[in-house]
Amino acid sequence: MALDDVYTEVLGEHSRNPDHKHHLACATCTMKGHNPSCGDEITLELNVEDGMVKEAAFTGVGCAISQASTDIMAELIRGKSVEEARGLAQKFISMIKGEITDEEELEELDEALALKNVAHMPARVKCAVLAWHTLDDALKSDK
Amino acid sequence: MADVQEFLKDFPLLNGEIDGKHIAYLDNGATTQKPHQVIQSICGYYGGCNANPHRGAYALSVKATDIYESARKRTAQFIKAKRPAEIIFTKNATEALNLVAYSYGLQNVGAGDEIVISISEHHSNLVPWQFVAKAKGATLKYIYLEEDGNLSQEDIETKITERTKIVAVTQVSNVLGLKNDVKSIVKKAHSVGAVCVVDGSQSVAHMAVDVQDLDCDFFAFSGHKMLSPMGIGVLYGKYEILDAMEPFLRGGDMIEYVQEQESTWAELPSKFEAGTQNVGGAAGLTAAIDYLEGITFDRIEAIEKDLVDYALPQLRELPYIELYGCDSKQDNKTGIIAFNIKDVHPHDVATILDNDGVAVRAGHHCAQPLHRYLQQNASCRASFYLYNTREDIDRWIAALKKVRGVLGYGA
């Protein structure tokens, strides 16, 4: 697989200039995510009201894949219901595990589709899914 | 000088292809590749000599015992131990260091005592001492670094005190690649009545080690970082100290008499080798020692130095590369180069290098406190061994030059 199948322009853009990498003054819930073996660390901050994810942001350090994945996720889940957001997280994780490959079924992942090829890089799967597992943990505990 | 093709031919993995690529293997600090002499010795053991040593009264078992005990003798000669009984076989250096922590540390460290280690320790020579300190109400103190990455001489002088019971240091840092003057640290430890534990994981495959000259009380290393199979490691300990220690693991082969309610222990070294041991691994270790001594450490050191001297000036020319431990004021740099590329996380660097068949380590290299001290989240590490060539370095540096571009940064 060619490098630019993974290090796509979308990924590069989100890792170099993340839109949502900042603190959230109105956060109702924060959740830390960590890959101890490689040191990726994120803190996800969410504003959840009336079952809706109104705002999402994050801070942390990590590789381009983990940081871009988190930024793309934050953009995607803003304005979604908690149920929808958790559904997206499940779908993303399934995509990276290679369980769902049908583009049509994955369409709602939008920009996150740019990370699809990480499924072919076993060593980097954990970088891609960190944010989404953290999101699921955050929304589970928010309930 | 770096024309080491004569060794290269001995390493089947380096001559083959991984996913269609010839690999430039620069992760020798993590584990080394194995020459066919070592692979053959393991096959030879399992194919012709396998039986449980120390047990059966039949020829094959005697043969297995012979192979195992010869490995002990060979290892004792290799690190210049006074007697074979001072060599305890373990699974790896981590188990060896845990043995010391449990069997010596818990017995000899008390409330208010101090254990002194360096900030550049691998977790295997750090976490066990945290455990002992916590369990006994002792304090764990750190020797920090000078600007150039070497251990602070002032810390060595001031932190090792009358309260110190154990000093544990690595002979070579697995990240910075700097060789510590452990002999003088041992001396300092002894001057206050402490024992000194030396982690030889990154040194024993790369330089001649003489434990009697170092005068260290314990010395630990892993076979797999010195051409041997995984699963065989060594703890050297001074006889009188080991003899006074309680066992670490209990069970078969380490006992003298077992009564219903109590037992007595076998003599050294059996006391510390409970259960069936890794005889195939010990056979491989013997073959690895033979192989290394055949080449000589003078040559191995010269090869690694040539590679470092060849790589460093080229790395320094790349303005986006940050190097760690490469400006030592002493002549003590070994074949380990830790680095980062500006704006790029080490894992992305490693993935991009891997795409060109260059294998380096990325992450914290089991040295989180050191990385925190260096104010780095993680780093990349290239580590060399006798079969590496200047061509490997060329491939590494050519791949490094691509990294920023792949991620959309200008050079």
**In-domain check, residue B30:** no
Q: Do A63 and B346 touch (CB under 8 A)?
A: yes
User: Same structural domain for residues B306 and B270?
Assistant: no
For B219-270, what is each residue's pLDDT tens digit?
999 999 999 999 999 999 999 999 999 999 999 999 999 999 999 999 999 9
Q: Does A12 touch chain B (CB under 8 A)?
A: yes
User: Same structural domain for residues B81 and B120?
Assistant: yes
User: Same structural domain for residues B331 and B275?
Assistant: no
**In-domain check, residue B24:** no
Q: Answer whether B218's CB lies under 8 Å from B188's CB.
A: no
**In chain A, which ranges are E strands?**
29-35, 40-49, 52-61
For B295-328, what is each residue's pLDDT tens digit?
999 999 999 999 999 999 999 999 999 999 999 9
Q: Does B116 touch chain A (CB under 8 A)?
A: no
> What is the model's pLDDT at position A35?
87
Q: Identify the CA nearest to A29 among candidates A13, A5, A51, A4.
A: A51
**In-domain check, residue B91:** yes
What domain range includes position B97?
A: 39-292
Cis status, amide bond into B84, omega within 30 of 0: no
Closest residue in B to A123 (Cα–Cα): B351
> What is the model's pLDDT at position B2?
46
The active-site residue, picked from B196, B216, B326, B366, is B366
> What is the model's pLDDT at position B173?
98
User: Same structural domain for residues B260 and B155?
Assistant: yes
Closest to B407 (Cβ–Cβ): which among A40, A64, A127? A64
Beta strand pairing call for B114-118 and B379-383: unpaired
Domain boundary among B243, B274, B292: B292
Chain B nearest CA to A22, separation (Å): 18
Domain boundary among B271, B292, B313: B292
**In-domain check, residue B23:** no
* Residues making up chain A, counted from first to last: 143
Question: Total domain count for chain A?
Answer: 1
What domain range includes position A21?
A: 3-142
| Amino acid identity at A81 | S
> What is the model's pLDDT at position B169?
98
> What is the model's pLDDT at position B3?
54
Distance in angstroms (rounded) separating the CA atoms of residues B127 and B122: 9
For A2-39, what is each residue's pLDDT tens digit?
888 899 999 999 999 999 999 999 999 999 999 887 77
Q: Does A5 touch chain B (CB under 8 A)?
A: no
What CATH number did the domain enclosing B374 receive? Answer: 3.90.1150.10
Residue B363: list chain A partners with CB under 8 A: 37-39
What CATH number did the domain enclosing A15 receive? Answer: 3.90.1010.10
User: Same structural domain for residues B174 and B284?
Assistant: yes
In sequence order, the 6+-apart residues with CB closer than 8 A to the CB of B71 are: B89, B282, B283, B285, B286
User: Same structural domain for residues B357 and B341?
Assistant: yes
Q: Compute CA distances B248 → B72, B242, B267, whole Å.
A: 19, 11, 14
* Cα maximum dimension of chain A: 44
Q: Does A35 touch chain B (CB under 8 A)?
A: no
Chain A nearest CA to B352, separation (Å): 7
Distance in angstroms (rounded) separating the CA atoms of residues B184 and B400: 38
Q: Which residue's structure tokens are 């009201």?
A: A49
Residue A66: list chain B partners with CB under 8 A: 345
**In-domain check, residue B234:** yes
**In-domain check, residue B31:** no
Residue B196 annotated to the active site: no
| Helix H or strand E segment including B135 | helix B127-136
Q: Does B342 touch chain A (CB under 8 A)?
A: no
Per-residue DSSP letters for B67-127? HHHHHHHHHHHHTT-S-GGGEEEESSHHHHHHHIIIIIIHHH--TT-EEEEETT--GGGTH
Question: Total domain count for chain B?
Answer: 2
Complex confidence, ipTM = 0.89
Residue A7: list chain B partners with CB under 8 A: 348, 352, 406-408
Residue B351: list chain A partners with CB under 8 A: 3, 6, 121, 123-124
User: Same structural domain for residues B183 and B90?
Assistant: yes
User: Same structural domain for residues B91 and B231?
Assistant: yes
Q: Does A4 touch chain B (CB under 8 A)?
A: yes
> What is the model's pLDDT at position B56?
75
**In-domain check, residue B18:** no
User: Same structural domain for residues B286 and B324?
Assistant: no
Distance in angstroms (rounded) separating the CA atoms of residues B153 and B164: 17
Closest to B378 (Cβ–Cβ): which among A4, A39, A124? A39
Bridge partners, residue B379, by sequence: B363
How far is the first Cα of chain A from the last one, in angstroms, to the nearest whole number?
41
Q: Do B351 and A123 touch (CB under 8 A)?
A: yes
Chain B nearest CA to A40, separation (Å): 9
Best residue in B377, B403, B409 to probe A by mutation, most A CBs within 10 Å?
B377
| Amino acid identity at B239 | Y
Q: Identify the CA nearest to A78 among candidates A109, A110, A51, A56.
A: A56
Q: Does A41 touch chain B (CB under 8 A)?
A: yes
Residue A123: list chain B partners with CB under 8 A: 351
User: Same structural domain for residues B212 and B320?
Assistant: no
Q: Answer whether B41's CB lies under 8 Å from B283's CB.
A: yes
Q: Does B355 touch chain A (CB under 8 A)?
A: yes
Domain boundary among B292, B317, B344: B292
Q: Identify the CA nearest to B360 among candidates B377, B347, B371.
A: B347
User: Same structural domain for residues B145 and B177?
Assistant: yes
| Helix H or strand E segment including A141 | helix A125-142
**Element counts in chain B: helices (H) and strands (E):** 16, 17
Q: Which residue's structure tokens are 């430890």?
A: B189
Distance in angstroms (rounded) separating the CA atoms of residues B349 and B248: 41
Q: Does B364 touch chain A (CB under 8 A)?
A: yes
Q: Which portions of chain A are predicted below pLDDT 70?
A: 142-143
Q: Does A32 touch chain B (CB under 8 A)?
A: no
Chain B nearest CA to A53, separation (Å): 30
> What is the model's pLDDT at position B4?
60
> What is the model's pLDDT at position A70?
97
Closest residue in A to B406 (Cα–Cα): A7
In sequence order, the 6+-apart residues with CB closer than 8 A to the CB of B353 are: B359, B360, B396, B399, B400, B403
Hey, CA dihedral for A64, A66, A72, A75, is it positive or negative? Answer: negative
User: Same structural domain for residues B247 and B140?
Assistant: yes
What CATH number did the domain enclosing B82 receive? Answer: 3.40.640.10
**In-domain check, residue B15:** no
The 10 Å CB-count burial string (b at 16+, else e) for B116-146 is: bbbbbbbbbbbbbbebbbeebebebbbbebe
Q: How many CB pairs under 8 A join A and B?
A: 55
Beta strand pairing call for A40-49 and A29-35: antiparallel
| Mean pLDDT for chain B overall | 96
Distance in angstroms (rounded) separating the CA atoms of residues B327 and B99: 35
In sequence order, the 6+-apart residues with CB closer than 8 A to the CB of B390 are: B2, B306, B307, B310
> What is the model's pLDDT at position A142?
64
Q: Which portions of chain B are predicted below pLDDT 70?
A: 1-5, 411
Closest to B406 (Cβ–Cβ): which among A3, A62, A67? A3
